[in-house]
A = this chain, B = another copy of it.
Amino acid sequence: MLEKVSFRDTLFEAGLLVASGVDGIYGRSGDFEAVVDGIDGLISRDGAMPGAEVVRFPPAMPRSVIETSGYLKGFPHLAGTVHCFCGDDQAHKKLLQCLDDKEDWTGQQKSVDLALTPAACYPVYPMIASRGPVKMDGHIIDVSSYCFRHEPSLEPTRMQMFRMREFVCIATPEITKAFRDRWVERGHAIVSALGLPVAVDLANDPFFGRGGKIMADSQRDQALKFELLVPVNSAETPTACLSFNYHIDHFSSIWDLKMQDGRLAHTACVGFGFERLALALFRHHGLNRAGWPAHVRAALWPN
């Protein structure tokens, strides 16, 4: 625990992260962002997927997407919805009175039709489904967004708002499974080239509650999720910086994503956590990026 707090404090003192008063919500310095941009460029070069469709989504999406996708079954505790004030002058007066009296004014707000994006790929499935059947050699989407998970933490690697880039594959079972397996290797190579100690391990999502245990076990039994781990906060509990997920037909059955032959598509994704990768680099190569090994700097900033 002490060590975790102290890495965060080190980052605050170095000015790389800026405290906001809420754990997991931080400002990022120009140097931190240069590292994130470097990682983004490296993924584009060394992870290039010819023919991939590039889409960037905002940090919020229709609430119906989080409802339909099954997210609230597995991760109700991590989801965030948006609430807004929809009243008149009279209601506004009441809101301001609550604020003055240090009472909860958010009761004056209503839930609107938006939820915060929990992972970059969630808006992809309804987007592709709306276009009709997927061509038989599949479709790759290159997607990225700010994501939200309600899990305040003292570990700097566990932010409430963070950026994720993903490649999503929507294709036949064979192509989709091969995509996921190929990315385990590619991800390993890309992160190793950054001079980071890397391990890949079977993993499960942090499903909620008593029922969650069963879902996690089933996910492990089927070897659906792998993570690329780098020690950041501690050697004992390394941090998942990439994840490789084979969803079988979870999303395609929900969104009725079909292939041109009429069968359900399968889906898979690889996700890169920008902040976690940046923090791993600062942890292993030092707080001053100018002093990082030449091959790491060349990989991040080739020009």
Contacts and interface: CB of A to CB of B under 8 A. Distances in A.
Main DSSP-derived SS at the A contact region: mixed
Given A25-B62, A81-B109, A111-B83, A208 B30 contact: no
Nearest to A22: B62
Given A30-B55, A72-B99, A73-B96, A116 B82 contact: yes
Contacts of A60: 25, 59, 116, 148, 160-161
Contacts of A150: 82, 84, 112
Contact of A58 (B53, B105, B146, B209): B146
Interface centre among A85, A86, A104, A109 (most CB of B within 10 A): A85
Nearest to A30: B54
Contact of A56 (B28, B56, B87, B162): B28
A279 to B, nearest CB: 15
B83 A80 contact: yes
Given A22-B114, A160-B114, A84 B95 contact: no
Copies of this chain, complex-wide, total 2
B161 A58 contact: yes
Interface residues of A, number: 68
Contact of A27 (B22, B33, B127): B127
A92 B30 contact: no
Interface string A65-94: 101000011001101111111111100100
Contacts of A21: 62, 64, 126
B83 A83 contact: yes
A85 B77 contact: yes
Nearest to A106: B111
B146 A27 contact: no
A26 interface: yes
A106 B82 CA distance: 10
A40 to B, nearest CB: 11
Closest 9 pairs (CB-CB, A-B): A30-B54, A58-B161, A106-B111, A84-B150, A59-B59, A89-B209, A76-B85, A80-B82, A28-B56
Interface of A: 18, 20-22, 25-30, 32-33, 53-62, 64-65, 67, 72-73, 76-77, 79-89, 92, 95-96, 99, 104-106, 109, 111-114, 116, 123, 126-127, 142, 146, 148, 150, 159-162, 208-211
7 contacts: A30-B54, A59-B161, A60-B116, A77-B84, A77-B85, A81-B109, A89-B211
